Amino acid sequence: MRALIIDLNNFALYPSIAVGYLAANLRRANIEVDVMAPMSNGVKGVSREPVPPAWGWIDQAIRYGTGVSRNSTIRSIRKRFAARMSSQLYRSKVPMVEEFTRRLDEKSYDVVLISTYLMYFEHCFALGEVCHDRKVALVLGGPYFSVGDVAREWMDIPGLTALVGGEVDLHLDEILKTAVAGGSFEHIPGVWNRDRKTPLTSPPLTDLDSVAFPDYTDFPWHLYPNRIVPLLTGRGCGWGVCTFCSDITSTAGRTFRSRSTANVLDEIARQASIHDSSLFVFTDLKLNSDLQIWHAIIG
């Protein structure tokens, strides 16, 4: 089986950890994998926390004032300005779809996987149309497709074979084989069918040590300003109660689960060797949820 993974996460300084996990788990199942990362096609990533300018407080005041304004003219101006200031990926739907189409025509794929945030609905819709026209199975996944209202809004995307809303690391290959064969997902937890039937509940994955280390070899390392490797020591948050936080209600945020210390340190050593890097970014919701891991990393 041959799979193409589309990365719609678009980080500026390092690869996407979600795509790294997808690639690793598929290769473990002997599935041939290619990755289409935005930066490989000249689309610059988004810096999560850019350095604020000297006039930053004025900028924030204007953003807030226009954001809560009920004046239709002000809201219209804000909308037009926001469109101009949006990420390059958000504004690059047409060239991205053209590159995707070229890849599908150039190389025969059995299935396409898209890892996405909800803001890229229109991109996924356009990519789905291409998959539909070429009769290629399409599997979409993201952290909030475990929420029924969200999932149902995405089920009308053309060509969509399956919508994944769970931690399916250990049976991802089964999902792909079912998608390519045109089978039913009723027996697979966390996967929505085209008929909108609510899927079997996908329980949080507890044995995190059984998951393959992320594979970042497909990313354009020569284009990053530094060789930073993303790493996740656990899923969820040790608190998990903050009302301002939406992360704890996403697929991976439900309850807290940690990898073992040995497993984490083994990955650090291996990724450092593979990518010739001593720089790591930890993407945990709260890194010190497991104090044993926390002290081991500090050590």
Per-residue model confidence as pLDDT tens digits over 150-186: 999 999 999 999 999 889 999 999 999 999 999 989 8
Average pLDDT, the chain: 89
For the cut 80, the answer to whether the pLDDT of residue 90 exceeds it is: no
Q: Report helix, strand or coil for 218.
A: coil
- pLDDT at 85 exceeding the cut of 70: no
Per-residue pLDDT, 86: 60
Give 177-205 pLDDT, tens digit per residue: 999 999 989 889 889 877 667 788 888 99
What pLDDT does 54 receive? 82
Q: Which residue has the higher pLDDT, 164 or 44?
A: 164
Using alpha carbons, list the distances in angstroms from residue 209 to 141, 233, 234: 22, 10, 10
Question: Average pLDDT for residues 88-106, to the nearest whole number?
Answer: 81
CB 229 within 8 A of CB 277: yes
Cβ partners under 8 Å of residue 71, min gap 6: none
Cα–Cα distance, 52 to 134 (Å, whole number) = 45
In angstroms, the CA 113 to CA 142 distance is 11
- What percentage of the chain exceeds 90 in pLDDT? 55
For CA atoms 74, 75, 76, 82, the dihedral sign is: positive
